[in-house]
A and B are shown apart, each in its own frame.
Chain A
C-alpha cells in the first residue's frame, strides 16, 4: 500500500501576536510547524503501513526551509519527503494544482491522506480539490479508517452523527483531529531521519504559468471586546439577571 501524506508548514498560531495598532498578525520570528491535523494524517498512514506494508511519501508545497519540518514526519516513520517550491503568489488553486502534479509524478499510489484543514487558514479545500484534479474518489472528515486489501471503509464525522462509506483505491482521504493521537518519534528515529531522502522540486517545472485566482487583500485580527458585566447580587438574583440579559442579547431563547 503506497501512501502520500500531504502536509503543510504553517506558523505556530499559538505563538502569533496581533499588532494592536494595525491589527495585522506579527509573523516575524514566529516558529513554523507542521499543521497539527496533517500529523493525524501521518499517524493514520503509519497505521496503514504497519498493517499492509508499503511506502509513505510526505509531500509539501512550501519554501525549502520546510525541510526541517518534513524531517519530523520522516522521524515519525515516513520513507521519503518531497518539497515543491511554489511561485511567490499562490492560492488554493495553485497549491492543489502543484500537489496534484507532484502526486502524478510520484505515481503508483493507493491513498492520498490530508488533514481536514490547515490550522492557519482552515479552508478545508485541499483534499476535495485534489480529488477533483486527480479524478479519484474522496472521503472527507474521516474519524475512523479501516484499510482493507482492495477497499477502504471509513466513518465520516458529520457533527452529531457519523456516516460509514467505502471506496476503491486510489482515494483521497481527509482526517479529523479526533481520529488518533500522533506518535512521537524516538531519539533514534530522529537521528535516522537525517539519512532519509528529501527531494526538492521546482513548482515551475511541474506546472508552469499557474497564477492565483483568489487575491488576499488583507489579513487582519478580529478584535473581541468584552462587556465586562458582573452580577454581584445574591446568587438567585444574579442567575435571573444573567439569563435575562442573555435572552436580551438573543443568545438564549
Chain B
C-alpha cells in the first residue's frame, strides 16, 4: 500500500496551485460578488490542459489519470468554488459523456474544441419534476425521418446557457422507465432550443445555472449519444464519476476555509494572546484538518478505482457524501472562528459556506447517496 503521489502528480499539484494563485485568486472575490465569468481565464486553462483533463491527447485532452484530475479540482476549488464547479461540470459531465459513450466520429467532431477551452460542454438530466427521481423525466425525443424531435424543459443545468454543446437525456420509449431513456447531443443555436431563466443562487454565483427549453427541436439522427434506450445507464455511470469529482471540489473548499482559519487564528488576539492558543479554537481547526484528510483519502480511493477500471459506485457515493457534509461542517466552523468578521463579506469564509451547500445537493443529494450506498451494501 502506498499513499504517496507520483512525481507527475506532485508536479501537477504544484503547477496548478501556482496557476490558481497567479490567475484565479486575484479575481475569486469578483467572480462571486459580481457574478463575473472569466472567459479569458478558461482559455488559459485550456492551454494548461484543464479543460479536458482525462480525455486522451489524441482528442485534444491532457490525458492525465483520475487521481490527478481530483488533485486539480481540489486546487481550483480551494481558491474559487464557482470556477471549481464550472470546470467539474465541463470535464466530468459535459465532456465525460461524449468521451465515454460517444462514437469515434462524435469524439473527433466535438472534443477538440471543448478540450481547448474555446467552448463549453454542458449536461442536462434534471427537470422541474425530476430531480432525485431522475428516471421520471418527461422530455421526449421522437424519431421523424432522419431527425430526432426533442420536446421538454431541463432545469438547474450548469453552464447550460454558455455551452456550445449540450448532452440531453430524453425519453425514447414512454412505456419503459429508466430503460426508455436515451442521450442526445444538441448544439447551441439549433432551432427550437432556447435558454430560459438563469438561477439567482445562494452560492457558486460565478457559475451559470440555466433552464433549457426544447420546443420541436430537430437534431440529426446521428446525434444519438450511445445506444438507444441506454442513456439512463450511461448517465448513471457519468454521475458516478462526477460524484467523486464533487467530493474533490468539497475537499478543496474545506481546505480553503481551513487555511484561512489557521492564518486568522494566529493573528487574531483576544484576552492577550492569539486565539490559536485557545484549546476551543485549536480543536475546531484540528477537526477540520483531520476530516479533510479523511475525505481526501475517500476521494483518492474512488478515483484510483476508476483508474483501475473496476466498479466504484459505492466508493464514489461515499466520497461525495462524506466530503460534502464534512466541508459543510468545516465552513460553518470557519465562520465561528472568524466570529463577527466571518459573518461579513469582507472575509472569504462566508463565501465558502455559501458555496459548499450545493455539494450536498448537486449530482445526487446526500439522501440519494445514502440510498445508493444502502443498496450497495445489501440493505
Contact = CB atoms under 8 A, between A and B. Distances in A.
Interface residues of B, number: 21
B45 to A, nearest CB: 10
- The main secondary structure of chain A at its interface with chain B is helix
Interface stretch (A153-161, A188-196, A217-225): A188-196
A71 B63 CA distance: 18
Nearest to B9: A190
Contacts of B14: 72
A187 B19 CA distance: 12
A187 B7 contact: no
B63 A188 contact: yes
Contacts of B7: 68, 71
B79 to A, nearest CB: 15
- The main secondary structure of chain B at its interface with chain A is helix
B15 A190 contact: yes
Interface in B37-60: 47-50, 53, 57
Interface string B1-30: 000000110111011001100100000000
24 contacts: A68-B7, A68-B11, A72-B14, A75-B11, A75-B15, A184-B18, A184-B22, A185-B11, A185-B15, A186-B49, A186-B62, A187-B12, A187-B48, A187-B50, A187-B53, A188-B49, A188-B57, A188-B63, A190-B11, A190-B12, A191-B8, A191-B62, A191-B63, A194-B8
Contacts of B22: 184
Nearest to B11: A190
B279 to A, nearest CB: 22
B19 to A, nearest CB: 5
Contacts of B12: 187, 190
Q: Which of A72, A190, A191 counts the most B-chain CB atoms under 10 A from its CB? A: A190
Interface of B: 7-8, 10-12, 14-15, 18-19, 22, 47-50, 53, 57, 62-64, 68, 72
B57 to A, nearest CB: 6
Contacts, number: 43
A45 B272 CA distance: 52
A177 to B, nearest CB: 15
Give the top 8 A-B pairs by smallest Cβ distance, nearest first. A187-B49, A187-B62, A186-B49, A186-B48, A190-B11, A188-B49, A68-B7, A184-B15
B10 A68 contact: yes
Given A185-B11, A191-B62, 6 more contacts: A75-B11, A184-B15, A184-B48, A188-B63, A190-B12, A194-B8
A194 B10 CA distance: 13
Contacts of A71: 7, 11
A9 to B, nearest CB: 14
Nearest to A33: B14
B8 A190 contact: yes
Nearest to B17: A184
A187 B115 CA distance: 13
A188 B62 contact: yes
A228 to B, nearest CB: 13
Nearest to B72: A187
A72 B63 contact: no
Interface in A27-82: 68, 71-72, 75
Contacts of B19: 184
Nearest to B19: A184
A190 B16 CA distance: 11
Q: Which of B11, B19, B48, B50 counts the most A-chain CB atoms under 10 A from its CB? A: B11
A186 B47 contact: yes
A238 B22 CA distance: 39
A75 B49 CA distance: 13
A72 B50 CA distance: 18
Contact of A72 (B11, B49, B57, B72): B11
